[in-house]
Amino acid sequence: MDSEPEPSLDDLCELAASTSGAGQAVIALLDARHSFRVAVAGDLGAGSPAPARRRTPIHDDPAHLLVGTGRALIVEDATCDPRLAHLPVVRAAGIGAWAGFPIVSDDGLVLGALCVWDGRPRQWSAEQQRSLERLARSVSADVSLRLRLRQAQDRIDDLETSGDASRKLAQSLQDSLLPPVIARPSWLDAAALYLPASGGESVVGDFFDLFATREPWWCAVLGDVSGKGLEAAKVTALARYTVRTEATQHASPATVLSRLNEALLRQRLNDRFLTAACLMFRPDPDGRGVRGLISLGGHLPGLIRRADGTVTEAGRPGHLLGIFEDVRLHAELVELAPGDALLLYTDGVTEAHRRGGHALWGETALADLLAGCAGLDADGMLERITTALTRHAGNHRSDDTALLLLRVPLDDEA
């Protein structure tokens, strides 16, 4: 845990300090004995441990109080609260009001806390608490992805040392960079699928994600990183946690992808680039459809299948991400009525072909098949697509394939 500070965590910490109006914030990760400050914002107080001295005994940090409960702790006056008043840091840092929000792993383990405080006693508004909860979720996603990537790197190092090349390792690493379960709101039918390239022990960079941002908004993203192996996996991890972080703060998918482009250029990951499709959406106020914006960063347009079987493209082409500082990206309106569906996919779908053959499946075949998916839910549509892919290409897949499908249920399905 005692590693170099990360710019993305610094940004989230600064955002927590400013949006809460507190002025001071810390992101701390915990182990059995110590608290590690990985990001700091504001003046911690003259008597408080300096940011450079980032490791402190765990029981000296109020963040340890969240480990047992896994819930946020809101304190209006730390000097009068029996849980905090005896801690040396309360006096040293001049803490009045204090609030801590847990940072959790994918399996619910508390890894640390996002903490903010004010020099005076005060109340924390409901909106401030909601904003901090969202930021804590973004920090959790960031930290969890970093941990999974580090664990995957450790496994690769072990295999390289032993000289054992393993398809299972590649699959494990790929799985660690995809959400284990697709979350979805009650008003949406959604399904996703990842298919690895045939015979590939190397990890490549197709990815997808679907998650809640600011109520009632949601974000769907699907992308394709150039190349394969650990370097591609690093870009995939960076893309996922950057999108999760930025989507919490911005309603425009074009802005989210622009921030991702900046993150890619800042990291300079061996000239890796990616394409991505990002959709920010919410339910219509009348509850009978979905409305949102889609942006394409060098990616294939999405396909909208209307309830009557009509298929149209969604999104206006924009620049690849990770190459140019000044990228042109567009946010186009997407409206889905009951029975409509939106498919996002990587080029492993349309470029599918038999081993040794050159006949690609193509966009037209995909659109025609989608048009014929009457009466199917999201899972059924993806099953129909994968069956057709196998029929066209046999068991050969020349490239990894990722698909994400969102469908608005019909009124009698709700």
Report the run of H or E that residue 275 belongs to, with start and end: strand 274-283
Q: Is residue 69 part of a domain?
A: yes
pLDDT recorded at residue 226 = 85
Q: Residue 391's domain spans which residues?
A: 165-413
- Residues 214 and 278 occupy one common structural domain: yes
| Whether residues 85 and 177 fall in one domain | no
Any domain includes 149: no
pLDDT given for residue 147 in this prediction:
78
Tell me what pLDDT residue 51 has. Answer: 45
Helix, strand, coil percentages, rounded to 5, for the chain: 35, 25, 40
Tell me, yes or no, whether 140 lies in a domain. Answer: no
Show which of 86, 114, 135 is a domain's final residue: 135
d(CA 350, CA 37): 47
- Domain count within the chain: 2
Q: What is the value of pTM for the model shown? A: 0.69
Structure tokens, 128: 């401030």
Q: Which of 97, 117, 135 is the last residue of a domain?
A: 135
- Whether residues 211 and 83 share a domain: the answer is no
Residue 272: Cβ within 10 Å count: 22
Assess if residue 141 is contained within a domain.
no
If we measure between CA atoms, which residue out of 397, 374, 399 comes closest to residue 384?
A: 374
Q: Tell me, what's the pLDDT at 352?
A: 55
Do 187 and 97 belong together in one domain?
no
Supply the pLDDT for residue 110: 93
Per-residue pLDDT of the chain (414 residues; tens, 9 = 90+): 544 456 678 888 988 998 888 889 999 999 989 999 999 998 665 444 444 447 889 999 999 999 988 999 999 999 999 999 999 989 888 899 999 999 998 778 999 999 999 999 999 999 999 999 989 988 888 888 777 777 766 666 665 555 444 455 555 555 666 666 788 899 999 999 988 765 554 565 788 999 999 889 999 999 998 877 667 777 888 888 889 888 988 899 999 999 999 988 887 666 679 999 999 999 998 878 999 999 999 999 999 999 999 999 999 999 999 999 999 999 999 999 999 999 999 988 777 555 555 566 778 888 999 999 999 999 999 999 988 888 866 665 556 788 999 999 998 775
pLDDT at position 150: 73
Considering the domain architecture, whether residues 39 and 114 belong to the same structural domain is answered as: yes
Q: Does residue 145 lie in a domain region? A: no
Question: Which residue do the tokens 């309360």 mark?
Answer: 90
Q: Are residues 42 and 112 in the same domain?
A: yes
CB contact set of 339 (below 8 Å; sequence gap of 6+): 306, 307, 407, 408, 409, 410
In-domain check, residue 157? no
H or E segment and range at residue 232: helix 230-247
Do 96 and 185 belong to one domain? no
Give the CB-side neighbour count of residue 255, counting CA atoms within 13 A: 11
pLDDT at residue 412, as a whole number: 76
Q: What are 50's two structure tokens? A: 């300096």
249 and 102, same structural domain? no
Question: Are 291 and 362 in a shared domain?
Answer: yes
What was the pLDDT predicted at 237? 81
Same domain as 173, residue 81: no
Q: Do 294 and 222 share a structural domain?
A: yes
Residue 330's pLDDT is: 97
- Does residue 29 form part of some domain? yes
**Residues 200 and 115 grouped into a single domain:** no
Q: What is the CATH number of the domain that holds 256?
A: 3.60.40.10
CA distance 40 to 13: 6
3-state secondary structure of 58: helix
Please report whether residue 152 resides in a domain: no
DSSP class of residue 158 equals H
